[in-house]
């Protein structure tokens, strides 16, 4: 595979430049896809769509720096469907249909969401495109049945895909396009081996589309190995992606950091929900236990809250999502892994009740709000024990978020370092970092690069 210093298309420029007037019809997409877009209410391509659609249609490899919320699903989905629609249908009786496009995603929620978007976009195409959505945590039998007769496009999580290949339910030898969606999360969640196995089953000559919110060395290495002369698309300069919406309206996501003592976070959350009149909020916690406990406390305080984590049944998770979308549930308290792929249009607020483990997770979490150019707010609760960790996240983003204190909830415990004294030589909390503080800060700094907490059973 070859990789050379490729053309970088800064998408911001697109929005400020002449491309801003571009519409979907300029890509040469077929009328049936344009009709589906109109009905979905997509008037103008988002930045990543403007850059990626023509390149994918030309058959180029793409390396897209884009988080969920940027419109990346349609950025690869539309050209894939256009390509599939233009391949002649198999003569009757010639089955199974060979899988021509494979989209790998890290979680079942994202698989379901990508599948739904693609099916929706394909609904008026004259040639029926068969889409199979495959993920673990549910019985394999219906998926095996669905694969009878083959599929044109497969959206899958890696583990289940390998199981299905092992059972001869599908073959990957005819895949022409591979999409890695949320590639950083695929590796973060420990799917490296499965990915390598799947790559070994694909034809060497194929188109590769690679989307990732962040580019740690492992992802750069993978891109280097996989991609051939890719068009590199950067949705925003590092650190800015959260500040500017997918459709280029700035600022899309207001990031806030509130200092609070850890034991008072639930009370503060309640207070903010009530005083700031949040209509819907997604609250991130570190563990399933915390999801249950926080949701329970909120419910006891009369708020419509539900936990959302990997130990709930798929049915229960779908129900919570539906209720959240319908606004009958206003607060969802979720773990990272469970919340992957949650796509709620206009989700106004995301709260990091527990801080994310890594800067990668931070970007993904705040990507739940301000979707497709809508505005949103991401709030992180920072307490003495997590202060150093939050600074590492800020540093990774080349970004400092002003610390707030909410009257009545001021943090009493000393933070490691202060805002006015980032070197830690004695600051607003009046405390120099002790040796223990420094060790803790070092420990936090190491933790920030560790893979995320993976919930068993996912
Ligand atoms: P994605 O990044 O693919 O998860 O998309 C995020 C959200 O943006 C989804 O709710 C999409 O329906 C929406 N979206 C994608 N493309 C557009 C567009 N061109 N105009 C408006 N909304 C869009």
57 and 167 assigned to the same domain: yes
Which pLDDT score, from 0 to 100, does residue 121 have? Answer: 97
Give yes or no for residue 441 having a pLDDT over 90.
no
DSSP state at residue 150: B
181 and 263 assigned to the same domain: no
Which pLDDT score, from 0 to 100, does residue 217 have? Answer: 82
Which pLDDT score, from 0 to 100, does residue 131 have? Answer: 96
Q: Which of 71, 247, 368 to mutate to test the pocket of ligand 1 (most atoms within 8 A of CB)?
A: 71
70 and 208 assigned to the same domain: yes
Going through 280-375 in order, the beta strands assigned E by DSSP cover: 281-284, 305-308, 331-334, 349-352
Q: Tell me how far the alpha carbon of residue 40 lies from the centroid of ligand 1, in angstroms.
A: 9
- Which range, 92-96, 108-112, 154-158, 416-420, is most confident? 154-158
pLDDT, one tens digit per residue, over 113-156 is: 999 999 999 999 998 999 999 999 899 999 999 999 899 999 99
The residue count for the chain: 458
- Under the banding of pLDDT at 50, 70 and 90, the label for residue 159 is very high
Would you state the structure tokens that stand for residue 153, as one six-digit string? 């496009």
Would you state the structure tokens that stand for residue 335, as one six-digit string? 């773990």
- Under the banding of pLDDT at 50, 70 and 90, the label for residue 190 is confident
Give the percent of the chain with pLDDT over 70. Answer: 77
Give the percent of the chain with pLDDT over 90. Answer: 46
Give yes or no for residue 325 having a pLDDT over 90.
no
353 and 389 assigned to the same domain: yes
63 and 156 assigned to the same domain: yes
Name the more confident of 433 and 408. Answer: 408
How many domains is the chain partitioned into structurally? 2
Close Cβ partners of 442 (under 8 Å, ≥ 6 residues apart): none
230 and 282 assigned to the same domain: no
Q: Which of 15, 70, 246, 345 to mutate to test the pocket of ligand 1 (most atoms within 8 A of CB)?
A: 246
Whole-model pTM?
0.61
Q: Tell me how far the alpha carbon of residue 357 lies from the centroid of ligand 1, in angstroms.
A: 27
Mean pLDDT of 173-198: 92
Give yes or no for residue 373 having a pLDDT over 80.
no
How far is C-alpha 226 from the chain's CA centre?
21
Which pLDDT score, from 0 to 100, does residue 202 have? Answer: 96
137 and 284 assigned to the same domain: no
Q: Is the CB of 372 under 6 A from ligand 1?
A: yes
201 and 273 assigned to the same domain: no
Average pLDDT, the chain: 80
299: domain range? 253-433
Mean pLDDT of 265-288: 93
Q: Tell me how far the alpha carbon of residue 195 lies from the centroid of ligand 1, in angstroms.
A: 27
- Is 339:455 a contact under the CB 8 Å cutoff? no
Q: Tell me how far the alpha carbon of residue 347 lies from the centroid of ligand 1, in angstroms.
A: 13
**The tokens 């959206």 sit on which residue?**
155
Quick check: is 448 in a domain? no
Mean pLDDT of 317-323: 87
Quick check: is 456 in a domain? no
Nearest to 347 by CA among 250, 294, 279, 284: 279
Give yes or no for residue 241 having a pLDDT over 60.
no
CATH number, domain at 270?
Answer: 3.40.50.300
If 0-12 CB within 10 Å is exposed, 13-18 middle and 19+ buried, where does residue 299 land?
Answer: middle
229 and 267 assigned to the same domain: no
Which pLDDT score, from 0 to 100, does residue 415 have? Answer: 63
Q: Tell me how far the alpha carbon of residue 69 lies from the centroid of ligand 1, in angstroms.
A: 6
**CA distance linking residue 161 with residue 357, whole number of Å:** 28
Which pLDDT score, from 0 to 100, does residue 413 have? Answer: 77
Which pLDDT score, from 0 to 100, does residue 69 have? Answer: 75
Nearest to 33 by CA among 70, 80, 1, 66: 80
Quick check: is 108 in a domain? yes
Mean pLDDT of 52-63: 93
Which pLDDT score, from 0 to 100, does residue 450 have? Answer: 35
Which of 205, 234, 263 marks a domain boundary? 234
Quick check: is 443 in a domain? no
Mean pLDDT of 193-208: 95
Give yes or no for residue 160 having a pLDDT over 90.
yes
Which pLDDT score, from 0 to 100, does residue 47 have? Answer: 84
Q: Is the CB of 343 under 6 A from ligand 1?
A: yes
Give yes or no for residue 17 having a pLDDT over 60.
no
- Under the banding of pLDDT at 50, 70 and 90, the label for residue 418 is very low
Mean pLDDT of 380-406: 86
Mean pLDDT of 319-339: 86
Give yes or no for residue 436 having a pLDDT over 60.
no
Quick check: is 446 in a domain? no
226 and 260 assigned to the same domain: no
- Under the banding of pLDDT at 50, 70 and 90, the label for residue 94 is low
Which of 234, 268, 301 marks a domain boundary? 234
Would you state the structure tokens that stand for residue 349, as one six-digit string? 């607020």
Count of Cβ atoms closer than 10 Å to residue 5 Cβ: 6
Which pLDDT score, from 0 to 100, does residue 91 have? Answer: 67
45 and 133 assigned to the same domain: yes
Give yes or no for residue 12 having a pLDDT over 70.
no
Mean pLDDT of 44-71: 88
285 and 377 assigned to the same domain: yes
Q: Tell me how far the alpha carbon of residue 71 lies from the centroid of ligand 1, in angstroms.
A: 4
Name the more confident of 55 and 235. Answer: 55
Q: Is the CB of 72 under 6 A from ligand 1?
A: yes
DSSP state at residue 429: T
- Under the banding of pLDDT at 50, 70 and 90, the label for residue 112 is very high
Quick check: is 7 in a domain? no
Mean pLDDT of 427-454: 41
Give yes or no for residue 338 having a pLDDT over 80.
no
Mean pLDDT of 23-30: 91
Which of 181, 207, 234 marks a domain boundary? 234
Quick check: is 453 in a domain? no
Quick check: is 359 in a domain? yes
Would you state the structure tokens that stand for residue 50, as one six-digit string? 């403007």
Q: Is the CB of 68 under 6 A from ligand 1?
A: yes
């Amino acid at each position: 595979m070859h990789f050379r210093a490729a053309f970088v298309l800064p998408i911001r420029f697109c929005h400020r430049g002449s491309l801003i007037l571009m519409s979907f019809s300029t890509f040469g997409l077929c009328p049936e896809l344009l009709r589906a877009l109109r009905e979905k209410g997509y008037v103008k391509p988002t930045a990543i769509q403007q850059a990626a659609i023509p390149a994918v249609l030309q058959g180029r490899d793409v390396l897209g720096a884009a988080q969920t919320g940027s419109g990346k699903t349609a950025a690869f989905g539309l050209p894939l469907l256009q390509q599939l629609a233009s391949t002649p249908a198999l003569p009757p009786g010639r089955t199974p249909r060979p899988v021509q496009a494979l989209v790998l995603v890290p979680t079942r929620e994202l698989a379901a969401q990508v599948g739904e978007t693609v099916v929706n976009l394909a609904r008026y195409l004259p040639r029926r495109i068969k889409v199979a959505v495959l993920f673990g945590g549910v019985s394999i039998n219906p998926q095996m049945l669905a694969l009878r007769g083959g599929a044109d496009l497969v959206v899958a999580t890696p583990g289940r895909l390998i199981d299905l290949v092992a059972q001869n339910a599908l073959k990957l030898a005819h895949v022409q396009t591979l999409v890695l969606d949320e590639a950083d999360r695929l590796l973060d969640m420990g799917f490296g081996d499965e990915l390598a196995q799947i790559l070994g089953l694909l034809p060497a000559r194929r188109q590769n589309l690679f989307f990732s919110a962040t580019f740690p060395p492992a992802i750069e290495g993978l891109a280097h190995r996989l991609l051939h002369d890719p068009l590199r698309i950067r949705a925003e300069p590092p650190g800015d992606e959260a500040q500017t919406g997918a459709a280029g309206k700035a600022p899309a996501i207001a990031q806030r950091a509130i200092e609070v003592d850890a034991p008072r976070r639930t009370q503060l959350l309640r207070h903010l929900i009530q005083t700031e009149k949040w209509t819907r909020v997604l609250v991130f916690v570190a563990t399933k236990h915390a999801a249950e406990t926080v949701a329970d406390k909120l419910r006891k305080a009369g708020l419509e809250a539900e936990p959302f984590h990997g130990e709930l049944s798929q049915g229960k998770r779908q129900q919570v999502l539906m209720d959240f979308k319908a606004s009958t549930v206003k607060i969802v308290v979720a773990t990272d892994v469970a919340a992957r792929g949650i796509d709620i249009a206009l989700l106004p607020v995301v709260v990091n009740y527990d801080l994310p483990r890594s800067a990668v997770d931070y970007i993904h979490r705040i990507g739940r709000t301000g979707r497709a150019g809508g505005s949103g707010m991401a709030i992180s609760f920072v307490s003495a024990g997590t202060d150093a960790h939050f600074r590492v996240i800020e540093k990774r983003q080349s970004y400092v978020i002003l610390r707030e204190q909410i009257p009545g909830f001021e943090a009493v415990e000393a933070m490691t370092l202060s805002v006015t004294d980032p070197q830690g030589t004695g600051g607003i909390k009046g405390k120099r970092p002790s040796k223990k503080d420094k060790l803790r800060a070092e420990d936090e700094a190491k933790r920030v690069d560790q893979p995320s907490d993976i919930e068993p059973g996912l």
